[in-house]
Structures are given as C-alpha cells and as structure tokens.
Amino acid sequence: MQIIKGILYTFKAIGVKLKVIELRTGKSFNKAPFDQCVVTIGNFDGVHRGHQELLRLACDQAQKKKIASVALTFWPHPQEVLLGEDFQRLFGQEELIDKFARLGVEYLVIVNFTKELSQILPEEFYQDYLVKPLNPRTIVVGYNFRFGSKGAGDIKLLKALGEEESRQVLIVEPFRVNDQVVSSSEIKLLLASGNLSYANELLGDEYFICGQVQRGQEKGRELGFPTLNLYPQHVIVPQRGVYITTVEHSGKSYPSITNIGIRPTFYSNGQEVVESHLLNENPNWYGQSIKVNFLEFLRSEKKFNGVDELLSQIHIDVKLASEYFRKYEMGSFS
C-alpha cells in the first residue's frame, strides 16, 4: 500500500503555527515537508495528561536533535470504523487540532482510518505510514501501543523494526493521578457522573464544547435569562445539569452559567441542548461559533413544579456563579 499526501495546511492558535498533513490511501507517494522527525502515535482522544507526556517527550527529543516534532493520529476513530458505532470523542477534530497546536507540536499527521487500513500487517504500517512518509529518527509510543491488523504489532515488534534501521523507540509508562491511570474512558465516565473537577484534573485543562449558536424555543429569553444554544453531536456531553462556565467568542471570554438537558419543566421528551446564559451580556450571536468552558458543576437537572419555582432556582444558580467569578476576580476579559 502506498500513501499520498493529502491536504497540508496551517492552523494558528495563540500565535503558534501547527502544520496539518492528511494522509489517505492512494496510488502515488509524496514525502512529508521535512527530512527527519520525532513522531509519537496514538488516537489522542482528548489529548489528556497521559497523551501530553507523549507529546512532551517527542517535542523535547525533537528539540535536542534539531528535527521536526510530529504527532500521528487517526480519524475517524478505529472503533467507529470497525464496530460501526457512533463513537463519541471527547473533542471534535478542530478542537483536537487546537489542543495539539497549544502543546507545541510542529506537525500533526491525520491518517484517514479505513477498513482497508485496519487489515494491513504491522510491518506494512511501519513502512508505509511511518518510514516512507515521515522518516522518523525516534518513535515515541505509550506502554500499551498496538499496530497492524487486529493489533498484531506490539512494542517488542516495533523496537525490533526500529533496530533494523537504527531508529530509536521510546516507551512512555502510564501517567497516574492519585494512583489512577489517566485514560479517555475514565474521563468520559467522570463527565457522565458529574465529577467535572476530577475530569478536568485528568484532562489538564477545562473540558469544553464548541459549536455554532442556534435558535431554540427562546424559553430562557421569555424568563429574562436569554441563552446561547448548542446542539453538539459525536462528542461526549457532560451529565445533565447546571454548570459554571465561560463562553469564548471572537477572542474574548465571558462569565456564564450553562444548563445541559431537555428542560423537563417544559418538555416531557425534549431535545438535549447546551444552553449558556452570559452573566453580563446579551449578544446576538446566532450562526456564530462559540466555545463553552466547563469550570464547576452546580447541580443536576430537575423538573420543577412550575415556572415560579424554576425562576427561583435560576436566580440561586446565577447568584452562585456570580459569587464564583467575584471570588476569582473574573469578569469579561480578552
């Protein structure tokens, strides 16, 4: 199997430029735009603190050797292709790219994962997706790394293949917090159970959801608390309930409070929505992109006995959020 270099483009975040290369199966081969590199490989779902150890080592090695630092990942997720299920990632592709850029990686290689790719031998993957397109001097992988058809390739084989061509293979041991191995699946369980603070600790950053603001039923506006509504798909949504958040838009961040749920006081079978109320603003951002950062879980979703009871609770929630931001001296900031 040979690989063609697909799209090569630059993603900018906070002044950092990340070059993104998409690799797809094809009939001809084009080499990557660097001579040698240090590459780390993984699904990187969430780019959590365990993944960050891989990326940090790869970047350090690349800096010492004065060569390119590269992260290689797969899209869509292998489980989605092999099991035919709607695999819910922690973040969408654009958000994932943003996280890589902020961690200082120079190149991100996104391999289009297909059933055809899942059936190649480990040796084929090593040659066609690592050696030929990337020419790595050093390969950095996690302790449980597998590659090739049915995960037939393991660390022992990767080291043997590397030794044949004098390529260094470095293994990163599991990263632990409070004696617990950090993993994407654990973070998803924490988010689903409302344990946001611990999920954020394992992520190494606040969990967030991005999307375009869409019109809803405007129940919040009728109650005097207008909201910015998102309907995320294919990503994990935290437990239904009320959260202290910030909303980012056009380079500025705004204190906010966010409800996730189906609004059971009004609807018996409503569509799940992420609705954020800005504490000090009432903007018209319909159709525009925002990012909602989840800072603290306040309470679970509840069906109230009427609008008056709901309004009373909303006032309590907003007061708690306002006190939170005053405590940390967070207002509208850029």
Q: Would you say 300 and 239 are in contact if contact means Cβ atoms under 8 Å apart?
A: yes
Three-class SS of 178-207? CCEECCHHHHHHHHHCCCHHHHHHHHCCCE
The span from the CA of 255 to the CA of 324, in Å, is 10
Annotated domain spans of the chain: 2-177, 206-327
- What local confidence, expressed as pLDDT, does residue 84 receive? 79
CATH fourth-level superfamily of 206-327: Riboflavin kinase-like (2.40.30.30)
Tokens representing 115?
């059933």
- What local confidence, expressed as pLDDT, does residue 334 receive? 41
- Please state, as a whole number, how many other Cβ atoms lie within 10 Å of the Cβ of residue 293: 19
pTM of the entire structure? 0.88
Q: Write the CB contacts of 322 (distance below 8 Å, at least 6 apart in sequence).
A: 255, 279
- What local confidence, expressed as pLDDT, does residue 57 receive? 98
Q: Would you say 196 and 243 are in contact if contact means Cβ atoms under 8 Å apart?
A: yes
Q: Cα 323 to chain center, whole Å? A: 29
Tens digits of per-residue pLDDT, 1-49? 334 345 455 555 555 678 988 877 643 446 678 999 999 999 999 999 9
Residues of the chain with pLDDT under 50: 1-5, 7, 26-29, 332-334
Cis amide prior to 76 (ω within 30 degrees): yes
Tokens representing 38?
């240090």
- Please state, as a whole number, how many other Cβ atoms lie within 10 Å of the Cβ of residue 259: 23
Strand partners, 299: 242
Decide if domain 2-177 falls under CATH 3.40.50.620. yes
- What local confidence, expressed as pLDDT, does residue 330 receive? 59
The span from the CA of 107 to the CA of 137, in Å, is 15
Q: Would you say 42 and 53 are in contact if contact means Cβ atoms under 8 Å apart?
A: no
- What local confidence, expressed as pLDDT, does residue 83 receive? 86
Mean model confidence pLDDT for the chain: 89
